[in-house]
Amino acid sequence: MEHYNMNLTLKVWKQKNSKEKGNFETYQVNDISSEMSFLEMFDVLNERLIKEGKEPIAFDHDCREGICGSCSMHINGKAHGPWEKNTTCQLHMRAFKDGDTIVVEPWRARAFPVIKDLVVDRSAFDRIIQAGGYISVNTGNAVDANAIPINKKDADHSFMAAACIGCGACVAACKNGSAMLFVSAKVSQLALLPQGAPEKRSRVLDMVAQMDKEGFGNCTNTYACEAECPKGISVDNIARMNREYLSAGISSE
């Protein structure tokens, strides 16, 4: 791909804290390389803002390798920007042309309150995991890796669900702000394996109860989550969680 430089107009959501109202601010950025990542473009802008004595734009990031799930921008109307199955940190500026205007917003959901600018509080996800996203493991020596035989297909499906990085793009993309794709991936990865069997019923009931408590919306099967998930998590997992929930809900006391 040929390298080129571009000048861009950024419209970025600025919000002081979770209490105050936010608004868009417009920034001009010049000579942005097509080989930069989207976050590097923000680094360039922030360095300039700091030099000018202005407040830099707050945004979440960590590994910048597309695996930690920290970055979270809603770019030009899509979670993680225009590329499919891609995180914001792996979005490169060659996705844009010279003269483009780019609108950048935080995830918008009641369960993800804005902390500052583009940073949202995703601790609701942590509390859902704490409610049941774990397995019981005996102490002592580590068990031999293949001691328990597992069907290859189940292992594959579990692994595909475990690819979820918990970034929250599913919530951001869903018109109902529903967290069903995230929770169903976390339920599925354990429900498919024998190691997850002891908490089979309590896990799904507790995690769904916590999800509801956090104020996420209800799933209406529009599948926007799957379309915008950077890891391609399938809505098959939502059906599996529904199945698990219905059987646990009917059979438990």
Q: Which residues bind another protein (CB under 8 A)?
A: 11, 24, 74, 76-78, 103, 105, 108-111, 173, 175-178, 180, 201-202, 205, 208-209, 211-212, 215-224, 227-228, 235-236, 238-246, 248-250, 252-253
Smallest separation, CB 50 to another protein (Å) = 26
Smallest separation, CB 208 to another protein (Å) = 6
Across-strand partners of 102? 10
Smallest separation, CB 62 to another protein (Å) = 24
* Closer to another protein by Cβ: residue 193 or 207: 207
* Closer to another protein by Cβ: residue 119 or 173: 173
* Closer to another protein by Cβ: residue 91 or 173: 173
241 is written with which tokens?
């969680």
225 is written with which tokens?
């989550």
Alpha-carbon distance of 203 to 244, in angstroms, equals 9
* Closer to another protein by Cβ: residue 82 or 142: 82
* Closer to another protein by Cβ: residue 64 or 78: 78
Smallest separation, CB 118 to another protein (Å) = 13
Smallest separation, CB 228 to another protein (Å) = 5
